[in-house]
Structure 1
Amino acid sequence: MIDEVDAVVVGAGPNGLTAAVTLARAGVEVRVYEGAATVGGGASTQELTLPGFRHDVCSAVHPLGAGSPAFRAMPLGQYGLDWVQPPLPLAHPFPGGSAVVLARSAEETAASLHGDGRRYRRLIAPFLGRWDGLAPDVLRAPLAIRPRHPALLARFGARAVAPAALLARLFRGERARGLLAGLAAHGVAPLGSPVTGGIAVLFALAAHEVGWPFPRGGSQALSEALAAYLRHLGGQIHTGHPVSSLDDLPPARVYLLDVMPERLADLAEGRLPHRYVQRLRRYRHGPGVFKVDYALSAPVPWTAPACTLAGTVHLGPSFAEIDTALRAAYRGEAPATPFLIVAQPSLFDSSRAPDGGQVLWVYGHVPHGWRGDLTAAIERQIERFAPGFRDLILVRSIAGPAQIQARNPNNAGGDIAGGACDRLRLLFRPTAARVPYATPNPDIYLCSSATPPGPGVHGMCGYHAAQLAARRMFGMTPAERTVKGE
């Protein structure tokens, strides 16, 4: 007979590990089962190109991780997590060698916007210095929990619900509109979709409040810190343990699954009502990404000096160009000129590459499940802002949607956002339910990015699911019990 356990978590990505830690902090016995050989999921780091060149396999830069209420409540620094803050969170270059910067200072950012600086300050000013009050209310399911600061949330919500295309009308110049579009594009939806304006404001605010840092050594360091903390709390982690059914797992009072909805339907077959299972199987995924990791012989030769100080660079100068690229991916077409999100961590973390070498992390949006090759278009776009870039390439590691999914089954069809984010799907997923983490079976919970607040390495999906399970199944919350020695 297999011993019963209080809680089993399937998946050791950031959400699964956060769910496990949240329960363990409440004194719940937890076991985590992960199919891969190591923990991490979307927050993992490997030598994808050459020995000594350490590349982030999926996520790389973590503004919402540094600002996550869940992570900030954990002593992860004691377990190896060290955030690296580049001099500039973000640069957004334009042809000709100029760039807008998203700086730690709102004033510096406003100054780079020229005539739109005053409008930018007016957009962001009500929330400066209020991250700790705002973030817990924003990074949650909108109807599941009563907000702690309803007036502040309502003020943010007036901006957040708007499409980026509407917020862009606040600005007169292309510099500010381009910056706004690039920030909104992290939501992987056409810029006319609701909530894309809120994504832009949230990412801008994060830069001013917590930065856009990355873990020293790569994203794997965050996952390893979560795992080490969980083990300290008494939790167990079993890697290299694929799960095909909940019947393969020890009997437990509660199961939390860091998987996509259709995978939940497979794992919990026979334990969920047929109608609910059908809704899970109809879950809609969004566009995929095409990712290239580069080992370079030298730093990227950016034309805009600000780019050499930025951990992240957005390539796609104008609002129209970025929106065209996003719309193409949603229509099922590869963009002729992709919008690129670029990370260059080895400029600021020498542990990521051998002396003289650099790693570069780049992706653009493509249709779901697309089978083409975007490499040439990606490199044309980089050369547009960094002539001579191709001459520095030592090795490329190319991953289209199929390879992205093979690395992590949660990224179905290359969708790294945990599902489509257009319309209001980011807020109400995987189904239109007030409490999206629960299922009709009171023993089973969903804790992946297919639940609010959605994509990003922040752990908040796992945190909310675990809080709910702790209350319903064990009659407690982490605040009500303290683990000895923590």
Structure 2
Amino acid sequence: MTNVTNPDAVVIGAGPNGLVAANLLADAGWQVLVLEAQPTPGGAVRSDRGLDPAYVHDLFSAFYPLAAASPLIADLRLERYGLRWSRAPAVVAHPLPDGRCAVLASGPEETAASLERFAPGDGAAWERLYGLWDRIREDLLACLFTPFPPVRAGVRLAARLGRAEALRVARMMLLPARRFGEEEFAGEGGRLLVAGNALHADLAPESALGGGFGWLMSMLGQTYGFPVPRGGAQALTDALVRRLTDRGGTVRCGQEVGGIVVRSGRAVAVRTVDGTLVPARRAVLADLPAPLVYGRLLPPDELPPRLRADLERFQWDFSTVKVDWALSGPIPWRAEGPRTAGTVHLAGGMDELTLFAAHLAMHRVPRVPFLVLGQMTTADPGRSPAGTESAWAYTHVPQAIAGDAGDDALRGRWDEREREVFARRVEAQVERHAPGFTGLIRARRFLAPPDLEGLDAALVGGAVNQGTTSLHQQLLFRPLPGSGRPTTPVTGLYLASATAHPGGGVHGAPGANAARTALRAHRLGRLRPGR
């Protein structure tokens, strides 16, 4: 029987990064125990039937292009443990109120044809951007999914491009989404696809890196689609757990960790909130945001003063509000494009995206929210009864709300009145593009930022990315200046969460980086068994 009373490694948190880390440690022969505060594993990769028993809804994340592209996830061979992917016929649609619609389709030629209808030459521009992606994809993804700095992959990428082109690509990646779109496309369709995908994170149309991030997400969608686990997001988590237990690892739910025990500068155990001491012979890996690890779980005297000061400057991403719907029929889109798309972006144009982002920057609840909407039955027909739709939409609000850009005096109290008012604001945006939508609503669930954090403590204030995606908190600045790697000031303690490089998204890289760093330290004799 596996010894879980004195494991080699304790992983705090059974989110995707924690479970990837645990699997890699178990593959190396370590005895691994994962402690999860919630009643079920998964972190932000969970689903339920809580709104309507006939409908499956993902509680947080839903579409997983980064998982489909991740070599780390591929190497786990989760299909052997029940994971099956499903895809909608089209990837992303962005309809406009005048009936036009940009469609990121299943193939680059179809996408190009959609954009060509906005402006002559934009189809060729898309194919040129896709050609660049196709040429550098393997090396670029290797740069993203390895510890910083990605020396080998970076050298390969630079050699493939040559100095002059590498500089141009680097410049392109740093462009704001608005400028990127203006340089690459004459019409609005291509510009909106890039800017909308950038706003999956917290990158406004005028933010540096937004163009590169939006291009990357668009190209991932073009190559891999925006796939969903068949049966719900929980299926991805369940496959990770099954693989881990098959290798002798253990996941214990309902076990909230209250502190990390440090002796002589080394993490030797964790203590749960009920007082149980769980030793860790070799390492502790934390799939929690760095501010929680450093600010709540570690004794303050174990942290350098400079780190404590840097923590005061850590920036969360925007808060998220999510609305789930059980619909009696498909959404009656005015445009044709969204009817077959798994993901739909809803905003009236680039200026509306900029106004939305400006309201957030001013700490105002946006008057007209930009929505990322998921048609889950379109993507996976088993999510609800035939002829119906399991759908959701999310949008952002400020972490600290100073006022309402609309006329409803919203202040972020998220009481019954504010929930109803904002839910109707969200539904009005859908109705604008799909007249008759509200008449299809059989049931609705509203998840405000406090609800998201209550369901997963890692989503502080509803920040689903565990820290801003902005350039000043990426690479060697993530989570703090001089970081970029999973090591911490405490020997044997590693950050395995999305606050570590390369950041948010379900791809497993922070967990894999932490596990491999712990394994390397053990091989080099830097980790002595705790006593």
TM-score, with length taken from structure 2: 0.85
Runs ≥4 residues deviating over 6 A = none
Report what 1:48 is aligned to.
50
Equivalent of residue 451 in structure 1, options 483, 495, 500: 500
**Corresponding residue for residue 481 of structure 1:** none
Instruction: Answer 1 or 2: higher relative contact order, Cα 8 Å, separation at least 6.
Output: 1
CA contact (8 A) 2:369 2:426 kept: yes
Select the residue among 485, 490, 494 that pairs with 1:436.
485
Give the aligned partner of residue 150 of structure 1.
157
The one of 175, 179, 185 aligned to 1:166: 179
SS of 2:364 mapped into structure 1: coil
CA separation in 2, counterparts of 1:2 and 1:177?
A: 52
Task: Show the counterpart of 1:421.
Answer: 469
Q: Which moved more, 1:37-46 or 1:163-172?
A: 163-172
Q: 1:30 Cα deviation (Å)? A: 1.2
Deviation at 1:156, TM superposition (A): 4.5
Aligned to 1:299: 330
Match of 1:61 in 2: 63
Displacement of 1:270 in angstroms is: 5.2
Residue 402 (str. 1) matches residue 408 (str. 2):
no
1:268 aligns with 298
2:409 corresponds in structure 1 to none
1:484: which partner in 2?
none
Give the match for residue 263 of structure 2.
none
Mapped contact 1:175–1:318 kept (Cα < 8 A): no
* Structure-1 residue corresponding to 2:519: 470
2:27 to 25, 35, 46: 25
Matching of residues 127-142 of structure 1 within 5 Å? 127-128=133-134, 130-142=136-148
Q: CA deviation at 1:475?
A: 4.3
In the alignment, which residue of structure 2 is the partner of 1:256?
285
Matched residue SS, 1:467:
helix
**Residues 474 and 502 of structure 2 are in contact (CA less than 8 Å); yes or no, is this contact kept in structure 1?**
yes
1:259-338 equivalence runs, <5 A = 259-265=288-294, 266-269=296-299, 272-275=302-305, 276-280=307-311, 282-338=313-369
Match of 1:303, SS?
A: coil
Q: CA separation of 1:252/1:319 partners in 2, compared to 1, >3 Å: closer, same or farther?
A: farther
For the 8 Å contact 1:255–1:443, the answer to whether it is kept is: yes
Conservation of the 8 A alpha-carbon contact between 1:258 and 1:446: yes
Percent of aligned positions that are identical: 36
1:140/1:378 Cα in 2 relative to 1: closer, same or farther (>3 Å)?
Answer: farther
Are the counterparts in 2 of residues 92 and 317 from structure 1 also a CA contact under 8 Å? no
Name the amino acid aligned to 1:394: R
- The superposition leaves residues 320-368 of structure 1 with CA deviations (integer Å, 9 ceiling, x where unpaired) of 2112212322321111111100111112423212344321110111111
1:104-119 matched pairs, under 5 angstroms: 104-114=106-116, 115=120, 116-119=122-125
Runs of 5+ in structure 2 lacking a partner?
Answer: 261-269, 272-277, 401-411, 526-531
Describe how 1:32-111 pairs up with structure 2 within 5 A.
32-111=34-113
TM-score, structure 1 as length reference: 0.93
Contact residue 4 and residue 31 of structure 2 kept, 8 A: no
How big is the shift at 1:416? 0.8
Report the secondary structure of 2:473's partner residue.
coil
Higher-Rg member (1/2): 2
The match for 1:339 among 348, 358, 370 is 370
1:361-372 pair list within 5 angstroms: 361-368=392-399, 370-371=412-413, 372=418
CA contact (8 A) 1:296 1:393 kept: yes
Q: Distance in 2 between matches of 1:471 and 1:142?
A: 15
User: How much does 1:74 deviate?
Assistant: 1.2
Distance 1:21 1:402 in 2: 31
- Aligned partner letter, 1:206: L
Say if 1:139 and 1:181 are closer, same or farther in 2 by CA, change over 3 A: same
In structure 2, the CA distance between the partners of 1:73 and 1:263, relative to structure 1 (3 Å rule), is same
Q: Deviations over 1:16-40 (max 9, x none)?
A: 1111112122222211110111111
> Is 1:186 matched with 2:209?
no
Counterpart CA distance in 2 for 1:134 and 1:189 is 20
Contact 2:92–2:341 (Cα < 8 Å) also in 1: yes
Tell me by how many angstroms 1:290 deviates. Answer: 1.0
Query: What SS does the aligned partner of 1:245 have?
Result: strand
1:319 Cα deviation after fit? 1.6
Question: How many pairs were matched up?
Answer: 476
Name the stretch that deviates more: 105-114 or 52-61: 105-114
The amino acid across from 1:419 in the alignment is G
- CA drift of 1:142 comes to 4.2
